[in-house]
Amino acid sequence: MKFALINGNKMEAQPGLRGTCVYCQSDVIAYCGSEKVWHWKHKRKSLCDSWWENETEWHRTWKNYFPTEWQENIHSDSTTGKKHIADIKTDRGFVIEFQHSAIKSEEIRAREAFYKNMVWVVDGTRLKLDYPRFCKGSKEFNSWLESKYFRSPIWKDIFSTYFPEECFPKRWLSSLVPVYFDFQGISPFAQLDGKHDLLWCIFPGDIGGWAVVANLQRKDFIECSLTASSLLLAQDICSHIAKRNQQQRTKEKEQRELREWREKQRAEAFRQFMINPRRRR
Ligand SMILES: [Zn+2]
């Protein structure tokens, strides 16, 4: 963890320091080696938050864009009493989780259900194939016709794709909240090709199988998260997709019912014919 409590104050790890964990209150020691980012280490990690993942430089870079008091901020569920450490929880209660390690679909669902008002930022540089797959898959992107309803200058391009699984890891495709992929990692200007420096958001849900993907500048995402929330930023599009998805389902249901009704009529006519074939002449 980046922070521990010393005399009630949130402190970063410095050589020789000891403190208490903000979550489990057990003793922690500052780890200030050269291989990993400086952090606080538990004597017994088993007591701490099971959702916590070891931090990388990438996590730190992201967290540092936000005020200290928002970082590693504990979120509690008032009804169940459960609590977890959110990577970022803003003063308005919105959560941003930065995900580097592999994560199971069940845990994705569990965290979304727990935090509710949240978005994910996923490290798209963890696996070598992630970015090449995205580049190849994004060739199937179409300009989203309904993007005309969303004129926010924040979104650079809004696309629709029928093949989101060819761009993004499958486990993120059934998320109920926006997922932003960061393909730049921590080397900002290393391979700038116009796609790396943007964040790519896949929105929850689909419209008749078409997923919606949009991109924006990293600085705009941060700015929005600092001033309002990254969830609000995506809200209009999320609601629109949900509404269109509902319309699509209703339409499909009506077509199915019409088909069934016609089949029934045909079957009934055939049955009548079999009972009394002459009557039809
Ligand atoms: Zn702890």
**What is the C-alpha to C-alpha distance for residues 36 and 255, in angstroms, rounded to an integer?**
58
- Residues 107 and 112: their CA atoms lie apart, in Å, by 8
Q: Residue 74: what pLDDT?
A: 93
3 state DSSP class of 182 = strand
Q: Ligand 1 mean position to 42 CA, how many Å?
A: 6
Same domain, 81 and 194: yes
Co-location of 167 and 133 in the same domain: yes
In the listed set 26, 48, 70, which residue is the last one of a domain according to the structure? 48
Give the number of domains in the chain.
2
- Please give the structure tokens belonging to residue 214: 């949009």
pLDDT score at 181: 96
Domain match, 73 and 30 both: no
* pLDDT tens track for 53-91: 888 899 999 999 999 999 999 999 988 989 999 999 999
The pLDDT of residue 68: 94
pLDDT reported for residue 35: 85
Please, are residues 51 and 84 in contact by the beta-carbon 8 Å criterion?
yes
Q: What is the pLDDT of residue 13?
A: 94
Domain assignment of residue 7, given as a range: 1-48
Reported as a single tens digit per residue, the pLDDT across 185-227 is 776 545 556 667 799 999 999 998 999 999 999 989 999 999 8
pTM of the model: 0.86
Low-confidence ranges of the chain (pLDDT < 70): 45, 187-195, 279-281
The pocket of ion ligand 1, defined by CB under 5 A, consists of 21, 23-24, 48
Residue 73 Cα to ligand 1 middle (Å): 13
CA of 70 to the centre of ligand 1 (A): 18
Among 15, 33, 48, the domain-final residue is: 48
Query: For position 194, what pLDDT does the model report?
Result: 63
Helix (H) or strand (E) holding 239: helix 230-275
Whether residue 107 sits in one domain with residue 63: yes
109/27 same-domain check: no
Q: Are residues 195 and 175 located together in one domain of the fold?
A: yes
Do 11 and 54 have their domain in common? no
